[in-house]
Amino acid sequence: MPPELPENDPPLQRTILLAGVDLASFLGHRDQLLADLEAQHPEVSFHARDQVLTLRGPAGSVRAAEEVVNEILELARRSGAVSRRDVQEVTRMVHDGQGPTAAQMLSEPIVTVRGHAVRAQTRGQRAYVDAIDTHTIVFGVGPAGTGKTYLAMAKAVQALQRREVAKIILTRPAVEAGERLGYLPGTLEDKIDPYLRPLFDAIGSMMDADVVPKLLASGTIEVAPLAYMRGRTLNESFVVLDEAQNTTPEQMKMFLTRLGYGSRMVVTGDITQVDLPIATSGLRVVNRILRDVEDIHFAELGSDDIVRHNLVSRIVDAYSAFDQSAERQKGDAS
C-alpha cells in the first residue's frame, strides 16, 4: 500500500539508474538496502527493477530520499560496498545539509587489508581521522564501539606504510577491572599478555598475518605496558595509548612527555569506564590542562559514532541518561 500523502505536499515519482555498481551487492540480501531506506524515509516507497530504482511519495520526502540514494550510490562506486550504517549516516548528513560531501567524506580508505578497506563510517570518525592528520597529539574520547582504537591503529599502519614514521608503539595501562592480576597463572609476561592482547588483535587485523610477526621481532612494531614507557624518548614513532581512562594524572604526564622528534601520539579512552580503584583518571584531568594547547586536539565521539550492533548505541545512551539522573538527584539532595 502506498504511503498516505499530505494535502500540502503533492505526490512525486522519481527514478534513479543504478549504474556503476554490482546490483546484487548494492541491494544486499533480500533487498536489505531498500528496507533500510524505507525505515529512514517512511513516507517514501522504494521499488527496484533491473537497474532502475523508483521512488514514490510526497514531493519533499522523495527529493530528500533521492539525494540520499545518490550519495549512497556514489559511496558504493567509490568504496565498493555500503553498510546499513552507511544508510543511517548518509541520511543524517543529508538532513543536516551535508549531502553533497557525504560520499566523499565516508569513502576515503585509510588502509586496505586483504581487499577490505578500513574507513571512517561517521562524521565524528571522519573528523577524528582528519585531526590525526593535522595534529601531533590527538585524544580520541568516547564510548565503546566508536572506533577510537581501531582507527588510530589504521592511521598508525598508514603512517608506517608511507614511511612517515620508523615504528609503531602500542601501549595501555595494565589495570585490573575487578579481577586480581596476581592470581593469574604464569610469569609476569603471561599475566600482562591478556591486557595487551586486544592491541595484538587490532594490529593483526590491519596487516597481513605473515608480516606482523616479522615487524614485532624487528621492533618496528612494539606492544608494551604503559609502565615500560618511563624514561624513554620516542622518536620517529606513531604511538597509541589505549584505555587511557585507566591512567593516573602522573602516568598521563609521563606518557605525553615521552614525545620525541618526528613522532605523533593518539590517546584513546572512555571516561565512563574507569577501573582505577581510587585515583583520579588522567584522561579526565588532561582535558582541563591541555584543552587550549596548540597542536593538541580532543576528538569527542558519541553514541552516533558507534559502529557495533545498534543495541550498543542504545545501551550507551541508557547508561548516560541514568548517570545524569543520578547526578541531578545527588544535587537535589545536597
* 172/312: higher pLDDT: 172
Check if the beta carbon of residue 140 is closer than 8 Å to that of residue 299: yes
User: Is residue 12 pLDDT above 60, yes or no?
Assistant: yes
Exposure pattern of 242-256 as b/e (b: 16+ CB <10 Å)? bbbbbbbbebbebbb
Model pLDDT, residue 207: 85
Grid cell listed for 139:
585524544
Model pLDDT, residue 130: 92
- What pLDDT, in 10s, does the model give residues 139-161? 999 988 888 999 999 999 999 99
The pLDDT of 165-191, averaged and rounded, is: 65
C-alpha dist (Å) from residue 210 to 75, 195, 216: 32, 23, 11
Exposure pattern of 312-326 as b/e (b: 16+ CB <10 Å)? bbebbeeeeeeeeee
- What pLDDT, in 10s, does the model give residues 29-39? 888 889 989 98
- What is the separation, in whole angstroms, between the first and last Cα of the chain? 57
% pLDDT > 90, the chain: 37
When the pLDDT of each residue in the chain is averaged and rounded to a whole number, the result is 83
**How does residue 224 score in pLDDT terms, banded at 50, 70 and 90?**
confident
Q: Specify the range with the lowest mean pLDDT, choosing from 81-85, 88-92, 270-274.
A: 81-85
Q: What is the pTM of this model?
A: 0.76
The pLDDT of 203-222, averaged and rounded, is: 88
Model pLDDT, residue 195: 67
- What pLDDT, in 10s, does the model give residues 53-73? 999 999 988 998 999 999 888
Q: Specify the range with the lowest mean pLDDT, choosing from 80-94, 135-149, 246-260.
A: 80-94
Place of cell 533480500: 30
* 204/133: higher pLDDT: 133
The pLDDT of 280-285, averaged and rounded, is: 91
Provide the sign of the torsion angle of the four alpha carbons 21, 25, 29, 32, taken in this order: negative
Per DSSP, what are the bridge partners of residue 119?
A: 109
**How does residue 181 score in pLDDT terms, banded at 50, 70 and 90?**
very low
Query: In one letter, which amino acid is 208?
Result: D
User: For the chain, how big is the Rg over CA atoms in Å?
Assistant: 23
Grid cell listed for 145:
564501539
Model pLDDT, residue 116: 75
3-state secondary structure the chain: CCCCCCCCCCEEEEEEECCCCCHHHHHCHHHHHHHHHHHHCCCCEEEEECCEEEEEEEHHHHHHHHHHHHHHHHHHHHHCCCCHHHHHHHHHHHHCCCHHHHHHHHHCEEEEECCEEEECCCHHHHHHHHHHHHCCEEEEECCCCCCHHHHHHHHHHHHHHCCCCCEEEEEECCCCCCCCHHHCCCCHHHHHHHHHHHHHHHHHHHCCCCCHHHHHHHCCEEEEEHHHHCCCCECCEEEEECCHHHCCHHHHHHHHCCECCCCEEEEEECCCCCCCCCCCCHHHHHHHHHCCCCCEEEEECCHHHCCCCHHHHHHHHHHHHHHHHHHHHHHHHC
